[in-house]
Amino acid sequence: MKGKLIIQKLKTCFDILVKAGTGFADDKAPKLSAALAYNTIFSLPPMLLLIIVVGGTFYGEQAITGQLFGELKGFVGADTAFQIQEVMSKINFQKNSTVATIISVVILIMGATGIFVEIQDSLNMIWGVRAKAKKGIIKILLSRLLSFTMIIGFGFLLIVSLILNAVILGFSDFILKQLPFIPVNMIGFVNTGFTFVVLLVLFMAIFKMLPDVKIKWRQVLPGAIVTTLLFFFGKYLIGLYISGNTMASLYGAAGSVIVLLLWIYFSAFILYFGAEFTKAYIEHFGGKIAPNSFAEYTEKILLKEYLDKEAAARTAD
């Protein structure tokens, strides 16, 4: 009996994965990933600068900067992280007048929020919704505000990460002395587990808050877990590919940009597959992703619903 239950669950997982893979291809997710990679090149420096400003207000800019670029080095390598830091150092506010300062801040925020607006548009397309034309201007303003809120959230996540890392490192020596039977690697596992939780919260927030849909936290949890697992282990594979690839040396001065594009492309690949998995999971168990008050179904979804109803009616007859 238990064996049959396991087989049934494995079959369910397989069916959901197949449906997610089919949706991934139908929605042209690789093309969406390429678009996000391109747009991120322009939005990443101002976004990171805003995260540092927000986080630095509470914890100190030097500590936040060190943590942020320490994480970036682990993902894209030291050379690319250094190039990003160099670009950020050249971003400054025009302080000649109040008007110039306001313009600089607005441009910075618009640039920084571009990543999330792009992700929002792609998730909307994957989940079969689009913004209503009549509410276009209000929707644009709300999208930028939500994106800015997400950036502030990243800043607080960095602060929490810094504090917990400091606590873990501070108590690690004490714990190992008091409990010598605990393996030294256990501290590393704790840090890894914390990183996993942070990424899980991040992906849940992206799936729940960014798209123009009505969706519950428990509905996005399975997809967020799959996305986190793929991202968590995929970053090592991406790192191996990038480190073993000769692109950086072939492209010379542009090598760091190529490496960054590759990393963002593969990361977007994982994010959009996670979105497809979330959609497939909800639909497999009889649920439906509905648009919120600012959105409506796309023609593709409406046509699918019509054909499904026609097929059901023919079957009933």
Amino acid (one-letter) located at 176:
L
Place of tokens 């009933």: 316
122: nearest Cα among 211, 201, 233: 211
Hey, what are 23's tokens?
Answer: 């949706």
- What residues does 130 pair with on adjacent strands? 296
Amino acid (one-letter) located at 28:
K
301: nearest Cα among 13, 35, 26: 26
The pLDDT assigned to 236 comes to 75
HSE (CB half, 13 Å, CA atoms) of 313? Answer: 6
Q: CA-CA distance, 131 to 174, in Å (whole number)?
A: 55
Q: What are the pLDDT digits (tens) for 250-304?
A: 666 566 777 788 888 888 999 999 999 999 999 998 888 888 887 888 866 666 6
pLDDT at position 93 over 60? no
Q: What angle do CA 150, 254, 248 make, to 5 degrees?
A: 95
Q: Name every residue whose Cβ is closer than 8 Å to that of residue 265 and which is 6 or more positions away in sequence.
A: 33, 34, 36, 37
Number of domains in the chain: 1
* CA 42 to chain centroid: 17
Q: What are the pLDDT digits (tens) for 164-219?
A: 666 666 566 666 666 666 666 666 677 778 788 888 988 998 899 888 898 999 99
Q: Which of 109-123, 133-147, 272-286 has the largest mean confidence? A: 272-286
The pLDDT assigned to 251 comes to 61
Place of tokens 């640039």: 111
Distances, alpha carbon 188 to alpha carbons 160, 168, 193, 242, in Å: 17, 10, 9, 24
- Residue ranges making up the domain that contains 157: 2-316
Q: How many residues does the chain have?
A: 317
Q: Name every residue whose Cβ is closer than 8 Å to that of residue 215 and which is 6 or more positions away in sequence.
A: 207, 208, 282, 289
Q: CA-CA distance, 41 to 48, in Å (whole number)?
A: 12
Q: What are the pLDDT digits (tens) for 154-178?
A: 666 666 666 666 666 656 666 666 6
Strands (E), the chain: 129-131, 213-214, 290-291, 295-297
